[in-house]
């Protein structure tokens, strides 16, 4: 970070925002394809053809858009690169999901590690052309990941197919609502940033930055555990009269979650404060906000496995309802604090907890009414 000025860091942040915007155009097909393969490995070839075809369609769409814009304005390489890297990131995301759905997690870990190491070949550019170097660092990782994945997985080959509308509709059906809920989660995070910046100022937003970083890091392990266990759950669910198997999978998954929460709890309350005080003393005030948000994250993480039942059973109406209610409660809470002049980083931290607890309550209510039936066996 010391190699880039604040203005250059701002450009890098905008570049990453462009990649995020591009990711919204996948409209859930990547997750839908992942779920389809998790349910039946025999559908991997068709699912892969559809996803790659859709990504190719996005490439044609963005290319045409750039050419049209070029009639009125000169092409800006920076924004064009953002679109290209965004598509590469989607491609890499799909490749990663396909590895996981096929149970090739060890191979994915190896490829990811090699890709990250090779991406650091762009570091020297940071000294001569900082922005180009930063863009290259972001772009090279998905490029190498895709490249090595095709070298090491012969069955990842594809053909462009725009005619198979039946499979496309099936993939979209499986992935759109989960994608939409992900967008709603992102919207909640953005509302939090906007309200803090607007109410308390940019400096307060910087003071709260540790929470943003912590929430992202906190979710890495649960997301990885979920990705590893979801294909097992889907296969077990597809087998009739296998409720005992489902229960065993969730027992192991829940134990993994419990162990993780114990470890990160110790780190959050005993280790992190000392590390922040030594290495990032300017952010020591942020520790208290992190510790508040921690409770909401714990409750949500303990109940999040229920979302796999919702997704597997295609109970998307319930899933969407949970997110809509949680987002509405969050917005009302932020509005109440702001309009009553009660806004503070501590109070806004508790709104985070309210958001996660509301979703958890929705999951538990669903499980009691519908989801638990899959775990009752004689």
Q: pLDDT tens digits for 217-261? A: 898 888 888 877 777 777 776 666 556 667 788 888 889 999 999
Q: CB–CB of 331/302 below 8 Å?
A: no
SS (H, E, C) 198-212: HHHCHHHHHHCHHHH
Q: Flag whether 170 is in a domain.
A: no
Question: What total number of domains does the chain contain?
Answer: 2
164-170: average pLDDT: 88
| Residue 129: predicted pLDDT | 80
Query: 2: pLDDT confidence band, cut at 50, 70 and 90?
Result: very low
Q: Flag whether 214 is in a domain.
A: yes
Q: Flag whether 169 is in a domain.
A: no
- pLDDT for 17-64, tens place per residue? 788 788 889 999 998 998 888 777 778 899 999 999 999 999 999 989
Same domain, 189 and 294: yes
Give the residue from 163, 186, 202 where a domain finishes.
163
Query: 190: pLDDT confidence band, cut at 50, 70 and 90?
Result: confident
Q: How many CB atoms lie within 10 A of CB 175?
A: 23
% of the chain residues with pLDDT over 90 = 40
- pLDDT for 349-369, tens place per residue? 999 999 999 999 999 999 888
Same domain, 192 and 148: no
Interatomic CA distance for residues 367 and 55, integer angstroms: 36
Classify residue 283 as exposed, middle or buried by CB count within 10 Å of its CB (0-12, 13-18, 19+): middle
Same domain, 189 and 99: no
Q: Flag whether 196 is in a domain.
A: yes
Same domain, 192 and 312: yes
What lies within 8 Å, CB to CB, of 284 at 6+ separation is 273, 276, 277
Interatomic CA distance for residues 82 and 91, integer angstroms: 14
Q: Which domain holds residue 335?
A: 175-373
Same domain, 126 and 186: no
Give the residue from 99, 130, 163 where a domain finishes.
163
Prediction pTM value: 0.76
Q: CB–CB of 253/229 below 8 Å?
A: yes
Same domain, 153 and 199: no
Q: Report the Cα–Cα distance between both ends of the chain, in Å, rounded.
A: 59
């Amino acid at each position: 970070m010391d190699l880039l000025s604040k203005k250059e860091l701002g450009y890098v942040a905008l570049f990453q925002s462009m990649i995020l915007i591009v990711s919204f155009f996948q409209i859930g097909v990547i997750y839908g394809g992942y779920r389809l393969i998790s349910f039946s490995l025999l559908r991997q070839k068709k699912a892969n053809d559809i996803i790659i075809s859709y990504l190719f369609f996005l490439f044609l769409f963005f290319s045409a858009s750039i050419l049209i814009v070029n009639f009125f304005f000169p092409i800006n390489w920076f924004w064009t690169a953002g679109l290209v890297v965004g598509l590469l990131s989607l491609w890499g995301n799909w490749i990663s999901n396909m590895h996981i759905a096929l149970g090739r997690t060890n191979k994915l870990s190896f490829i990811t590690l090699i890709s990250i190491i090779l991406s650091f070949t762009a570091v020297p550019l940071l000294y001569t052309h900082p922005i180009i170097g930063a863009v290259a660092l972001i772009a090279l990782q998905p490029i190498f990941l895709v490249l090595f994945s095709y070298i090491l997985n012969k069955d990842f080959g594809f053909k462009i197919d725009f005619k198979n509308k039946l499979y496309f509709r099936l993939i979209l059906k499986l992935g759109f609502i989960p994608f939409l809920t992900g967008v709603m989660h992102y919207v909640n995070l953005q509302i939090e940033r906007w309200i803090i910046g607007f109410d308390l100022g940019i400096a307060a937003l910087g003071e709260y930055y540790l929470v943003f970083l912590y929430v992202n890091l906190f979710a890495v392990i649960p997301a990885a555990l979920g990705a590893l266990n979801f294909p097992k759950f889907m296969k077990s669910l597809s087998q009739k009269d296998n409720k005992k198997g489902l229960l065993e999978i969730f027992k192991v998954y829940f134990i993994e979650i419990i162990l993780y929460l114990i470890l990160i709890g110790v780190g959050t309350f005993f280790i992190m404060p000392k590390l922040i005080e030594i290495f990032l003393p300017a952010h020591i005030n942020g520790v208290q906000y992190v510790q508040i948000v921690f409770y909401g994250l714990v409750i949500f993480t303990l109940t999040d496995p229920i979302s796999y039942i919702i997704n597997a059973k295609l109970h998307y109406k319930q899933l969407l309802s949970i997110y809509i209610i949680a987002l509405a409660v969050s917005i009302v809470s932020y509005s109440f604090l702001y309009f009553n002049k009660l806004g503070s980083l501590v109070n806004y931290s508790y709104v985070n907890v309210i958001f996660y607890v509301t979703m958890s309550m929705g999951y538990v209510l669903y499980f009691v009414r519908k989801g638990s039936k899959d775990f009752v066996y004689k």
